[in-house]
């Protein structure tokens, strides 16, 4: 009596190996997707922190620009200081050199720069024109 080979047993072993390879490939795909998601979330958080720092710097710059003439004398020169974790500098210069003196006042260029107190590039720069005291 001849026995026929048992194909069912040999197919099960091949199927088990195939399922293992498929699960490894699926795990690799999931790992790549999670890595990409982590990177995207990290980049978004870094951009959010940078935007928040610029918003804070803008508030400081607007505040110091508003202080020119009230707390900061409206005369050519520099003033600097610290507000929270931001450092600022106000520069007041004549807008245009003119030999004609106006009784209303000379135009002055007011520039405010704000940067992180710990150092780094300027986050915000604002400029404005103001009338200085008349002659």
pLDDT digits (tens, 9 = 90+) for 46-63: 999 999 999 999 999 999
Q: What is the mean pLDDT of the chain?
A: 87
Q: Is CATH 1.10.10.60 the classification given to domain 7-131?
A: no
Do β-strands 124-131 and 77-83 pair in parallel, antiparallel, or remain unpaired? unpaired
Query: For residues 80 and 133, is the Cβ–Cβ distance under 8 A?
Result: no
Q: Which residues are CB-neighbours of 73 under 8 A, at least 6 positions away?
A: none
pLDDT computed for residue 2 by the predictor: 58
Query: For residues 72 and 54, is the Cβ–Cβ distance under 8 A?
Result: no
Who wins on pLDDT, 16 or 122?
122
pTM: 0.70
């Amino acid at each position: 009596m001849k026995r026929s080979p048992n194909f069912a047993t040999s197919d099960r072993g091949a199927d088990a190996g195939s399922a293992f390879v498929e699960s490894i490939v699926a795990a690799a795909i999931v790992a790549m997707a999670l890595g990409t998601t982590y990177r995207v979330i990290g980049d978004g958080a870094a951009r959010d922190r940078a935007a928040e720092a610029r918003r804070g710097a803008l508030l400081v710059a607007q505040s110091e620009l508003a202080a020119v003439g009230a707390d900061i004398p409206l005369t050519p020169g520099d003033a600097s200081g610290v507000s929270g974790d931001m450092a600022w500098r106000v520069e007041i210069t004549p807008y245009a050199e003119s030999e004609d003196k106006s009784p209303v006042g000379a135009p002055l260029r007011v520039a405010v720069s704000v940067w992180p107190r710990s150092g780094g590039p300027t986050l915000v720069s604002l400029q404005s024109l103001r009338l200085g005291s008349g002659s």
